[in-house]
Amino acid sequence: MREIVMDTETTGLDPFDGHRIVEIGGVELDNHVPTGRTYHQYINPKRDMPTEAFEVHGISADFLADKPPFEAIAQEFVDFVGDAILVIHNASFDMKFLNAEFDWAGFPQLPMSRALDTLAIARKRFPGSPASLDALCRRFGIDNSNRTLHGALLDSEILADVYLELIGGRQPDFVLSRKTGPAMVDDGAWRPHPRPKPLPSRLTEEERVAHARRVESLGDDALWKSFAD
């Protein structure tokens, strides 16, 4: 299963008020494992950015002046995404902007059914608790110290860690092979080790004595006796 954990940065809250996407970041997962492939693009919004946008994104209109507009990178982004599931925090916000940009660029819109909203997952799993990306990083002990300013690729990388924790926790040492056939675990994969201290028996003394009597009644050829010390 291929997924793209992604984030966008915008000039404001609503594309239908004239706001645009200024940055897109994405991280590829294959069966919940990061592949190392990423997507990152700054975008010229072709409009004046409000002062508050400078403070949020740490970028300026001058910085974006020589960056391509969305229509120039739309096909490249579509090719990277392919048919993957889009994992997004507060998916309705990003999907609204993406589909507005696609529509203005003459591209088909992305169906909302392709989006997996980590904000909704977090609220369902931890009802009543803060569910922002920063709050989830604190909950899961994920280092987001570099997140002094919003950034689409950095937020995507952090969200990928959060997403993997939300769906059950990362197990980096237990990786299934993509090989087919009876051997489905790589030779270097995790293996259970003997317990340093055996677990105590759950048998009561009465049960142990009853079992010994039953084995004795089966005679010398009883299978149980072949395992005796």
Does the pLDDT value for residue 201 go beyond 90? Answer: no
Domain ranges of the chain: 2-166
More confident residue, 47 or 192: 47
Does the pLDDT value for residue 180 go beyond 90? Answer: no
More confident residue, 177 or 9: 9
pTM: 0.71
What is the rounded average pLDDT of the residues 60-82?
A: 94
Q: Are 70 and 20 in contact (CB under 8 A)?
A: yes
Q: What is the pLDDT of residue 73?
A: 97
Tell which CATH classification among 3.40.190.10, 1.10.510.10, 3.40.50.720, 3.30.420.10 matches the domain 2-166: 3.30.420.10
Q: What is the pLDDT of residue 126?
A: 95
State the Cα–Cα distance between residues 28 and 60, nearest whole angstrom.
28
Does the pLDDT value for residue 172 go beyond 50? Answer: no
Catalytic sites, residue numbers: 150
Task: Say which residues have a Cβ less than 8 Å from residue 108's Cβ, sequence separation at least 6.
Answer: 102
Does the pLDDT value for residue 5 go beyond 90? Answer: yes
What is the rounded average pLDDT of the residues 38-67?
A: 78
Q: What is the pLDDT of residue 67?
A: 95
